[in-house]
Amino acid sequence: MSIADILIIFVSIVVTSFISGLLSLGGGTILMGVFVWILPVTLSMMLHGVTQFVSNGSRAVVYWKHIHWPVVTGYAIGAIGITIVFSLIAYVPNKVVVFLLCGTLPFANYLIPKGYALDVQKRGGSLTCGTVNTGVMLTSGVSGPVLDVFFNKTDLTRFQIIGTKGLIQSFAHVLKVIYFGGIILATTGEFDMGVLPWWVFVVAIFLSSGGNLLASKFVNKMTDQQFRKYATYMTLGVGATFFVRGVMLWIEGGTLIP
């Protein structure tokens, strides 16, 4: 791996952790796209899982007192259940699938018929959220746009949304690292990171925390209405970009089958 590639990875981590810390979505999707652009899918999943665990976890720490715990409990049950199911088939997506899913997911909220809006606070909503969100994450590497669908219609404040999503997303990324780490171990017989130096993971952890702490200084200056509006613009723009990239790879000879 070249120095230029590593620098791109580091800059992307700082920028996207700031975006995620400010809007509670968008950053992880951008980062996954950058990683898949440079690295093999399995390595992208591992590095993304580590950085996003720290990024989301640091937000959970900052907004700990605002976390909505009933949502966290239901989410964890659903997330663990679907991870066990995925482990039985050991599915690894290819780059075309990852880019297409990263591009389509931000539009998920607009594909749901009116009157059927998902709500993480409704009965069974958090369990469904954990199952669907984690399943999408293990398939595409990210799931922030899907998670946002479950939070769009709630009456939670921006602080509750950022804190709760931070905690449940950090948990989901731990499951992702365990899942793909297990696949690497089963395939190679060891935790072989290939072209990715081990110290990149260490630096990534510190960079993720820094971006989030900086973003927390700006959150207080926004209203809840501004928070939701900017988050929507960000996710749609990112989605369109990666969808085009996925289509281009498909046209160039890529396949939807791993």
Q: Average the pLDDT over 146-162 and give the result.
A: 81
pLDDT digits (tens, 9 = 90+) for 47-65: 889 888 887 888 888 889 9
pLDDT digits (tens, 9 = 90+) for 189-201: 665 666 778 888 8
pLDDT digits (tens, 9 = 90+) for 213-236: 777 667 677 676 776 677 677 767
Among 105, 65, 118, which residue's Cα sits nearest to residue 239? 105
Most confident of 14-18, 83-87, 236-240: 83-87
Tell how far CA 119 is from the center of its chain: 19
Q: Average the pLDDT over 130-139 and give the result.
A: 89
pLDDT digits (tens, 9 = 90+) for 62-118: 889 999 999 999 999 999 999 999 999 888 888 888 888 877 877 766 666 656 667
Tokens at 84, concatenated: 């066990």
Does 133 or 20 have the greater pLDDT score? 133
Tokens at 59, concatenated: 């937000």
Give the Cα separation of 175 and 180 in Å (integer).
9
Q: Are 222 and 158 in contact (CB under 8 A)?
A: yes
- Sign of the alpha-carbon dihedral angle for 206, 50, 240, 96: positive
| pTM assigned to the model | 0.76
Average pLDDT, whole number, for the chain?
A: 81
Q: Are 162 and 197 in contact (CB under 8 A)?
A: no
Give the Cα separation of 69 and 21 in Å (integer).
20
- Sign of the alpha-carbon dihedral angle for 113, 119, 125, 128: positive
In this prediction, residue 176 carries a pLDDT of 92
**pLDDT band (50, 70, 90) for residue 175:** very high
